[in-house]
Amino acid sequence: MSDTKARLLLVDDEESFRTTLGKRLTERQYDVKSVGSGMEALDLLATTPIDVVILDIRMPGLSGIETLAEIRAKHLGVEVVLLTGHGDVPSAVEGMRLGAFDYLMKPYEIEGLLAKIEEAHAVKKEREERLRKAEERAQLDRLEKSMRF
Residue 41: per-residue pLDDT: 98
pLDDT tens digit string along 19-39?
999 999 999 999 999 999 999
Architecture of domain 6-147: 3-Layer(aba) Sandwich (3.40)
Residue 148: per-residue pLDDT: 82
Cα separation, 109 vs 112, in Å, equals 5
**DSSP letter string over the chain?**
--TTSPEEEEE-S-HHHHHHHHHHHHHTT-EEEEESSHHHHHHHHHHS--SEEEE-S--SSS-HHHHHHHHHHH-TT-EEEEEESS--HHHHHHHHHTT-SEEEESS--HHHHHHHHHHHHHHHHHHHHHHHHHHHHHHHHHHHHHHH-
Longest dimension (CA), the chain: 65
Q: What is the mean pLDDT of the chain?
A: 94
Domain boundaries, the chain: 6-147
Cα separation, 70 vs 92, in Å, equals 17
Length of the chain (residues): 149
- Asked whether residue 2 carries a pLDDT value surpassing 90, the answer given is no
pLDDT tens digit string along 50-88?
999 999 999 999 999 999 999 999 999 999 999 999 888
Amino acid of residue 40:
E
Residue 149: per-residue pLDDT: 67
pLDDT tens digit string along 125-134?
999 999 999 9
Q: Which residue has the higher pLDDT, 148 or 78?
A: 78
